[in-house]
Amino acid sequence: MDEPSYLDFDKTKYAWKPDVDYREHPELYLAGKGEQGVLICEPYKGELVPLWRFKTPDIARESSQAIYKRFLAYLREGDFVGADMARKFLQMGFTRSRWYTNYKGGRKYDAIDKHQLERDTGDPANAESSRIFFDAWKKAEARPAHAKMKAEWKEKYG
């Protein structure tokens, strides 16, 4: 039986730390790591989690628009880490709503014996939520200001 990779996760070796203020220490942020750190990286997590919802397409539309507005505000403020975190929340809105499209309750593995559950048992309405977040995510990634800030950040911090 294939087990989920998170079962043997060693959080002491994980680069993201919940006790770091990434606004004060942007040099500790890891750019280009998919969705990693999105639920750890403060203060951005606290600013973006309340905006992040995808249960229905209407909720997903409102949520993705609010997160995209924060993304633009972070860009205006010259805050690459904030902008990149908002981008990650848009990406995560896409991936998580896909989970709920693919798997009933969003669970890929059984809670008791950890076997993989049957795919395509989720709510098809979440496919629309997924598309909404995907469009907002790609719109954010296409912003030249974000690409420029990311290149500058990588040049400065690696």
Contact 85, 23 (CB under 8 A): no
Q: How confident is the model at residue 3 (pLDDT cuts 50, 70, 90)?
A: low
Q: How many distinct structural domains can be found in the chain?
A: 1
Query: 75-92 in b/e burial notation, b at 16+ Cβ within 10 A?
Result: beeebbbbbbbbbbbbbb
Residue 101, pLDDT score: 79
23 falls within a domain: no
5 falls within a domain: no
144 falls within a domain: yes
25 falls within a domain: no
Listed in sequence order, the residues at least 6 apart from 95 whose beta carbon sits closer than 8 Å to its beta carbon are 35
Q: Which ranges in 44-107 belong to alpha helices (H)?
A: 44-48, 57-76, 80-102
> pLDDT of 12-31, one tens digit each?
777 888 899 999 999 999 88
Token code pair at residue 25: 């220490």
Chain position carrying tokens 């998580």: 96
Residue 119's domain comprises 35-157
pLDDT over 70 (residue 41): yes
15 falls within a domain: no
10 falls within a domain: no
pTM: 0.85
13 falls within a domain: no
How much is the average pLDDT of 113-132?
Answer: 80
